[in-house]
Structure 1
Amino acid sequence: MKVKIDDIIDAVDFDSDMSESFLNTKTKQVCMFTYEELRAAENDEDISDSADWYCEAVASAKHYLETPDDYLPLPEKYDCNEYRIMEKFISRVIISKQSEMLSQSIKGRGAFRRFKTMLERLGLLDEWYKYRGQKLREFVEFWCKENEIDFE
């Protein structure tokens, strides 16, 4: 059984400060647990009045806590260094004025927001998302190979 690489890419891309993502090495499923779900599972909280999806999520989190050796932490979004990806994208922009404007947009605080705004203004947003998606895929494929994960 192979892992669906798009599931790992989605989990890495969706990474947040409120959750952790793992690969269940036995089932080859990608699992994402919020800290709330992990806390409820760890404290064995009564969630009988909760929605079915939440009960299932807490049950999955409990399984993770009981069998942590079956789970491999997925890389975080920050591990792929999106800032460096932005710099490489900018170096590929042919029109020097556009390249210059994009370079200016990534300096200082708020760089990601300004970069996206500038991409929209220059009509390069679709090109950026395509490039970024390609680099994220390459990063995840490398991670899978390093961890000896078969993927499709």
Structure 2
Amino acid sequence: MRVKFGDILQAFEFADISGVVECRTFVCRQTGKIYYQFDQDDLQELEDDELPDDIEDETKYLQIPNSRDLDLGKPLVIAFVREFLPNDLDDVRYIFSKRGAYQKFKGLLSRRGAIDAWHDYRNKARERALRDWCEIQAIEITD
């Protein structure tokens, strides 16, 4: 199947959000079409098409991962800090041993003037991980 990378990335970002709306995203193994499933059994596709009744059939539809599935949470933060803010490594490890870690981490990034570097690092890592995931899943990416 062939899928535009931008479509996979958008579906990943929807799957990655947390808070008020929970969302799972799927790609059809045959057509490459992306489907969005929102919380509370309110099933809908992004363009308001109906979801297939068999969306849970893993032989037909592949669930698109989120950051946790791709190990892009705390391990990515630690790798970034080791490379760009090595003097803050112990502080960041401590920050991530408590609740509210990302908010505190963002505060540290702001104080160090490293927000843009973090966003660039995270975005490149996400793209690399998603492209690797697509390759493993035999999804042919078009740019």
Q: For the superposition of Structure 1 and Structure 2, which TM-score range results when normalised by the shorter chain? A: 0.7 to 0.9
Q: Which residue matches 2:2?
A: 2
Q: Which residue matches 1:34?
A: 38
CA distance in 2, matches of 1:85, 1:133: 11
- Given that 2:29 and 2:60 are in contact with CA atoms closer than 8 Å, whether structure 1 keeps it comes out as yes
Identity of aligned residues (%): 23
Does 1:21 find its partner at 2:11?
no
Question: SS at the partner of 2:42?
Answer: helix
Q: Of 120, 133, 146, which aligns to 2:123?
A: 133
CA distance in 1, matches of 2:97, 2:114: 19
- Given that 1:22 and 1:30 are in contact with CA atoms closer than 8 Å, whether structure 2 keeps it comes out as yes
Does 1:124 find its partner at 2:114?
yes
CA distance in 1, matches of 2:65, 2:31: 19
Q: 1:72 and 1:95, CA in 2 relative to 1: closer, same or farther beyond 3 A?
A: closer
- The Cα RMSD (Å) is 2.6
CA distance in 1, matches of 2:7, 2:108: 30
How many angstroms does 1:76 deviate by?
2.4
User: In terms of Rg, which structure is larger?
Assistant: 1
Question: SS at the partner of 1:128?
Answer: helix
CA distance in 2, matches of 1:66, 1:107: 40
Alignment of 1:65-144 (within 5 A): 65-66=53-54, 68=57, 69-81=59-71, 82-93=73-84, 96=87, 98-144=88-134
Q: 1:115 and 1:27, CA in 2 relative to 1: closer, same or farther beyond 3 A?
A: same
How many angstroms does 1:28 deviate by?
1.4
Unmatched runs of 5 consecutive residues or more in structure 2: none
CA distance in 2, matches of 1:137, 1:113: 23
Report which of the two has the higher share of strand: 2
CA distance in 2, matches of 1:86, 1:95: 12
CA distance in 2, matches of 1:11, 1:136: 13
